[in-house]
Amino acid sequence: MNWLYRVKLTYLFTKEEDYQNIQDSMNKIADALDKEQCFDTFSAKNKFRALPEDYTLVIANSLINELYNYADEHRIWID
């Protein structure tokens, strides 16, 4: 596939599983997405900033999956 964009995000991911580390990571990802024009129409990015404390890891993983699906559909390579 010919990618239209390359965006570095994976360095912002965390392996930690506690609420605060996950929320901090998701906030940093949302900040990075806000700076990238290719993610202007990614409607789920605001959800990255307000994770509930219950099921945080499950919800964060689901949002990351949405991010990758959006990126694939819009030919964005995530590094």
Q: State residue 64's pLDDT score.
A: 98
Question: How is the chain split into domains, by residue range?
Answer: 5-78
* Residue closest to 44 by CA, chosen among 22, 60, 21, 23: 60
Burial of 1 (0-12, 13-18, 19+ CB in 10 A): exposed
Q: State residue 1's pLDDT score.
A: 77
More confident residue, 21 or 1: 21
Q: What residue has token string 């995000």?
A: 9
Q: What does the pLDDT look like over 19-77, one tens digit per residue?
A: 999 999 999 999 999 999 999 999 999 999 999 999 999 999 999 999 999 999 999 99
Q: State residue 62's pLDDT score.
A: 97
